[in-house]
Chain A
């Protein structure tokens, strides 16, 4: 109501949330396209079939990062309006400084650079990534970066950094989804995109199940304005 004016709110206009995979913008992570790993043109082609609006180019192993840099340096004609790159998240071989230096070379068309907090030893080293740095909440198997207080410390050290909400990771730590609510409450202003999938018993990303779709829906309704990146193949049925 505004002042003394009364308005109608027709029940015909009640919200009926659409199925999750109808979200816009939706995108695919190339991380699940394991058979094509390193073949960036084909990965992009495959991701474009899921969505031409958003994508996450995942260089999950350090050895994939130079290839991604070379590919992007060639100014490929990419259709995506939102382009994320996922930093290496597997066992590190190079020094942290060397990895960050390579990430900083990602061209400006890359909107966000997703980093796992358990890979961060010296937060100051990541300041060079500025507002493109996006920190993801971790799953139950990890030793750091799962809870609000752990992530708060990182964000205090890296005030420009954004937040990537991995809803399945939050579920693995707290199946009641209360942690997910806390993360969104605390880091709402930082949220840049969502990682969407279900998790296998071993903790790997698998296609979103119908059960999880219902479980995750309330939290995802708080993220309607950001890209959702699928970390596993879209479920067909």
Chain B
């Protein structure tokens, strides 16, 4: 039984939207794997999907954020070619984002060797974090796992200590979270902030889930000796984001808060799965959003999720870890 299902057993009505989304995602992953099964692929290349695919939370309107991830150095051509994958994924309204992060080849050597400094651009940082925290392979699963393993090893060097969260990983994760928050405003200022309301709500919900699903396992490394930290993180990161969070709520005895936090996220998923609501949110300007019942309901759900996560971080045995490692 997954941690999400365990937490659901404590609640009155369960998390039906998350549960349905997980079933839907499993079906779509199986279907996509079948459709791509005959596509020739280099032995060191996989095709991975990110975002709601990786979180196992597909709605009927989710984007296909995909990339070819190569376990090696940059090279001019890969098999499969991006164009071939684009025939199967990302059609119509499922087109991946316009900033070029997805729909291309990504090279694991860059993800591992370019952590920090100028060469670690926004795309590289995004790919490294998403690969770890919310991705799933639809071609060459073993290559995907190998890349995840390399990235994790890239964080866990000699500096990892007994009963200490791995600082390098923690700092990169926090940096990513703050980067997407700052970039949200940056996009608005440069005039590329379309779909302001929907993106704002996602920042307060699914992006927060992404961050917390990395932060919690990293902080909980304080329970382990250095030689066990890699194994703990690896097992945690195999689970979908929301399972890591549900597990933490149960593990730290904050079940009531967990029911409410995950319940709020479950309702948010229902909300954005409704085509008419989603279309309304896509059209709202920042000013209009303040008076929109749909936007404000989404904002409230984001607040409930956040308050639950904050209670987990500050009202349980995690609090000393947050104090010790979360700010400086």
**Residues on the A chain within 8 Å of B13, using CB:** 189
A95 lies within 8 A of chain B by Cβ: no
Residues of B within 8 A of A (CB): 10-13, 163, 223-224, 228, 231-232, 235-236, 254, 256-257, 259-261, 263, 267, 290-293, 295-297, 300, 303-304, 307-308, 310-312, 315-317, 320
Whether B317 contacts A81 by the Cβ 8 Å rule is no
**Minimal Cβ-Cβ distance residue in A for B308:** A225
B251 to chain A, nearest CB (A): 9
A234 lies within 8 A of chain B by Cβ: no
Known contacts A225-B261, A225-B308: A82-B303 contact under CB 8 Å? yes
Whether A13 contacts B291 by the Cβ 8 Å rule is no
Whether B12 contacts A188 by the Cβ 8 Å rule is yes
**Residues on the A chain within 8 Å of B295, using CB:** 108
Some 29 contacts from A to B, beta carbons below 8 A apart, are: A2-B232, A5-B228, A5-B232, A6-B228, A7-B223, A8-B163, A13-B317, A13-B320, A14-B317, A81-B303, A108-B290, A108-B291, A108-B292, A108-B296, A111-B300, A111-B303, A188-B12, A188-B260, A189-B13, A190-B12, A223-B256, A224-B254, A224-B311, A224-B315, A225-B254, A225-B260, A225-B308, A225-B311, A225-B312
From B231, B235, B297, give the contact of A131 (CB < 8 A).
Answer: B297
**Residues on the A chain within 8 Å of B311, using CB:** 224-225
How far is B76's CA from A110's CA once the two chains are assembled, in angstroms?
Answer: 55
Over the window 15-48 of chain A, the binary record of Cβ atoms lying under 8 Å from chain B Cβ atoms (1 yes, 0 no) is 1000000000100000000000000000000000
Whether B259 contacts A189 by the Cβ 8 Å rule is yes
How far is B12's CA from A186's CA once the two chains are assembled, in angstroms?
Answer: 6
Most chain A CB inside 10 Å of its own CB: which residue of B223, B224, B267, B311: B223
**Residues on the B chain within 8 Å of A222, using CB:** 256
A184 lies within 8 A of chain B by Cβ: yes
List the count of A-B residue pairs having beta carbons below 8 Å apart: 83
B315 to chain A, nearest CB (A): 4
Whether B235 contacts A188 by the Cβ 8 Å rule is no
**Residues on the B chain within 8 Å of A224, using CB:** 254, 257, 311, 315
**Minimal Cβ-Cβ distance residue in A for B221:** A7
**Residues on the B chain within 8 Å of A188, using CB:** 10-12, 256, 259-260
How far is B224's CA from A8's CA once the two chains are assembled, in angstroms?
Answer: 7
**Residues on the B chain within 8 Å of A81, using CB:** 303
How far is B239's CA from A3's CA once the two chains are assembled, in angstroms?
Answer: 13
B89 to chain A, nearest CB (A): 33
Known contacts A189-B11, A226-B307: A2-B235 contact under CB 8 Å? yes
How far is B292's CA from A190's CA once the two chains are assembled, in angstroms?
Answer: 23
A208 lies within 8 A of chain B by Cβ: no
A10 to chain B, nearest CB (A): 8
A123 lies within 8 A of chain B by Cβ: no
How far is B300's CA from A192's CA once the two chains are assembled, in angstroms?
Answer: 10
How far is B259's CA from A184's CA once the two chains are assembled, in angstroms?
Answer: 11
Interface residues of A in 89-109 (CB under 8 A from B): 107-109
**Residues on the B chain within 8 Å of A2, using CB:** 232, 235-236
Q: How large is the interface on A (under 10, 10 to 19, 20 to 34, 35 or more residues)?
A: 20 to 34
B200 to chain A, nearest CB (A): 14
B60 to chain A, nearest CB (A): 22
A75 to chain B, nearest CB (A): 9
Known contacts A9-B223, A108-B292, A131-B297: A225-B10 contact under CB 8 Å? no
Whether A225 contacts B307 by the Cβ 8 Å rule is yes
A124 to chain B, nearest CB (A): 19
Over the window 207-234 of chain A, the binary record of Cβ atoms lying under 8 Å from chain B Cβ atoms (1 yes, 0 no) is 0000000000000001111100000000
**Residues on the A chain within 8 Å of B10, using CB:** 188
**Minimal Cβ-Cβ distance residue in A for B10:** A188
**Residues on the A chain within 8 Å of B291, using CB:** 107-108
How far is B232's CA from A8's CA once the two chains are assembled, in angstroms?
Answer: 13
Whether B235 contacts A3 by the Cβ 8 Å rule is yes
**Minimal Cβ-Cβ distance residue in B for A221:** B315
**Residues on the A chain within 8 Å of B12, using CB:** 186-190
A168 lies within 8 A of chain B by Cβ: no
**Residues on the A chain within 8 Å of B256, using CB:** 184, 188, 191, 222-223, 225
B216 to chain A, nearest CB (A): 12
Over the window 134-147 of chain A, the binary record of Cβ atoms lying under 8 Å from chain B Cβ atoms (1 yes, 0 no) is 00000000000000
**Minimal Cβ-Cβ distance residue in A for B163:** A8
